Amino acid sequence: MTNAIEIKNLTKKFKKFTAVDDISFNVKKGEIFAFLGPNGAGKTTTIKMITTLLKKSSGEILVNDKNPEKFKDEVRKSFGVVFQDTTLDIELTAYENMYFHAVLYNIPKKQRKEKIEKLLEFVELLDRRKDYVKKFSGGMKRRLEIARGMLHVPEILFLDEPTLGLDPQTRNKIWEFVKNLKEKNNVTVFLTSHYLEEAEAVADHVAIIDHGKIIFNGTPDEVKEKTQTDTLENAFLELTGKSIRDESSNTAHETMKKIINK
Amino acid sequence: MRVIYIIWLRQIKRFIRSYSRMVASLAQPLLFLIALGYGFGSIYEQAGQGSYIQFLAPGIIAMTVIFTATFNGASLVFDKQFGFIKETLVAPVSRVSIMLGRALGGATVACFQGIVVFFLAMLFGFMPVDWSIAPLAIVFIFLLALLYSSLGTLIGTFLKDMEGFQLIVNFLIMPSFFLSSAMFSVKNFPPAIEWVARINPLTYGIDGMRGAFSTVVEFSYVFDILYLVAFVVILTFLGAWFFRKMQV
């Protein structure tokens, strides 16, 4: 078994709109896999299908050789996920958010405190552990989510836009962390990002998705070679064009707008 | 168990931290006690029906409990809007325990509110007839709280925003409140309405509670409890099924 994730002919239709259109790819165990594409290309929809949050329309998904629809809990145990929009409870403290996760993932009671504090220290939030998350900045929330996603030591970690909207220091810190995960813990990392130079620096493998279809699948060097470009960013523009896309997914921004308009 | 407990605990913590919500939710029952207690009370008593506050108070306690419980259950919608629901849904835990944890959390809060209203009502002259059986009322308050909190959670699984919740309140909770024995005796309703009131689980919750306070029960304690428990069980499994179907 060398593949952590196998996707075959995966399709997701929302009524008439096809968000993910017959895509196939494999993610090898222990690699950093960058899933890139413009806004609304189908990245988040794909992650949601793999992580059991969304039902596929057709095709096949295997996570560690298991079908997530049949072996829900086994598959759920094997991955951690950091979504693009925050999934923290802002009325709880940082420590409480971590503790909630530790209980859900059945981390033995004696280990909880130590593990939580170790991870909080790593993301430099240990001294803020008793603060409510609503007082946190965007970067702090993101770091906390990554720490939480790692708490149960998953085999696969999904990171949907982990560095979106963060300052260079935090971004740097997060990528260091991601590389470390792979090297020290042999965690498979599945990430999406808009920062292509960053993705280029960490990724072993790149798949580019646009309009729900995979238009490139290979190493960062291969994509540059194919498009005769010098950076991943230029290769990306070469492949997906330069027109601006509208995001169709439900972003945090839209959610906030809905709440404010009420 | 541990999953049910941690989900329950989260609801309790959130409740304790937002006491403004608690104060706000006590305003309505207070108003009802003043307006109805003094307004209708004198008419009721002139007609030779005895003390109205004795009849009304269990109804007002039930009102507080069912509104708070339904709202707490449906607050699942906020978890959807703020994304926290994903954290629970991707976790390797059974959907029944998610449902139970949420329902119990909402129920505990509503139960607490109900007991606060009980003491408020005592300020207006309400007094249990026999203190030795009065604690039995807590069983009925809790069962009502659990029932409506489960109902709210179930509804929350398919609601998209709190606007939809208003619809549920107007078409489900308000009728459930008025078409029960909360404010009036069921016997005074026309047959069709009486029939609705007899299906309505609130009628049995109030019957048991009123019985515990007045020592006079219309059906029987055992039947009241069984009827409420049956509803809770059905709603729990239905809710777990909706959680399984939920996509975010």
- pLDDT at position A257: 56
Q: Are A125 and A88 in contact (CB under 8 A)?
A: no
- pLDDT at position A252: 47
Mean pLDDT of A102-122: 94
Who among A55, A92, A259 is closest to B13 (CB)? A92
Q: Is the pLDDT of residue B29 over 70?
A: yes
- pLDDT at position A68: 92
Q: How far apart are CA A240 and CA A219, in angstroms?
A: 17
**Domain residue ranges of chain A, discontinuous segments joined by +:** 3-85+156-260
Mean pLDDT of B30-40: 84
- pLDDT at position A155: 93
Mean pLDDT of A220-239: 84
Alpha-carbon distance values, B159 to A19, A47, B22 (Å): 23, 23, 24
Neighbouring-strand partners of residue B180: none
Mean pLDDT of B221-228: 96
Q: Give chain B positions within 8 Å (CB) of A101.
A: 87, 91
Distance from CA of B80 to the nearest CA of A (A): 9
Helix or strand run (H / E) with residue B238: helix B221-245
Q: Is the pLDDT of residue A255 over 70?
A: no
Predicted confidence (pLDDT) per residue in A168-203, tens digit: 888 888 888 888 888 888 899 999 987 788 888 899
ipTM above 0.90, yes or no: no
Q: Which residue has the higher pLDDT, A227 or A112?
A: A112
Q: What percent of chain A has pLDDT over 90?
A: 58
* Spatial CB neighbours of A34, under 8 Å, sequence gap ≥ 6: A191, A192, A193, A199, A202, A203, A205, A206, A207
Minimum mean pLDDT range among A28-37, A95-104, A232-241: A232-241
- pLDDT at position A198: 82
Q: Are B150 and B236 in contact (CB under 8 A)?
A: yes
Minimum mean pLDDT range among A42-51, B185-194, B236-245: B185-194
Alpha-carbon distance values, A27 to A37, A57, A190, A222 (Å): 17, 21, 8, 17
Q: What confidence tier does A251 reach under pLDDT thresholds 50, 70, 90?
A: very low
Write down the H helix ranges in A160-251: 168-185, 196-202, 220-227, 232-240
- pLDDT at position B76: 92
Question: Which CATH homologous superfamily contains domain A3-85+156-260?
Answer: P-loop containing nucleotide triphosphate hydrolases (3.40.50.300)
Who among B85, B92, B161 is closest to A73 (CB)? B92
Cβ separation B91–A86 shorter than 8 A: no
Who among A83, A90, A103 is closest to B6 (CB)? A103
Q: Give chain B positions within 8 Å (CB) of A138.
A: none
Mean pLDDT of A58-75: 93
Mean pLDDT of B194-217: 92
Q: Is the pLDDT of residue B40 over 90?
A: no
Q: Is the pLDDT of residue B124 over 70?
A: yes
Which residues from A are below 8 Å from B when comparing CB atoms? 48, 51-55, 72-74, 76-77, 79, 81, 83, 85-92, 96, 99-101, 103-106, 148, 252, 255, 258-259, 262
Q: Is the pLDDT of residue A262 over 60?
A: no
Q: Is the pLDDT of residue B53 over 50?
A: yes
- What is the strand order of the sheet A213-218 is part of? A79-82, A156-160, A188-192, A32-36, A205-210, A213-218
Are β-strands A156-160 and A79-82 bridged in parallel, bridged antiparallel, or unpaired?
parallel
Minimum mean pLDDT range among A242-256, B135-149, B191-205: A242-256
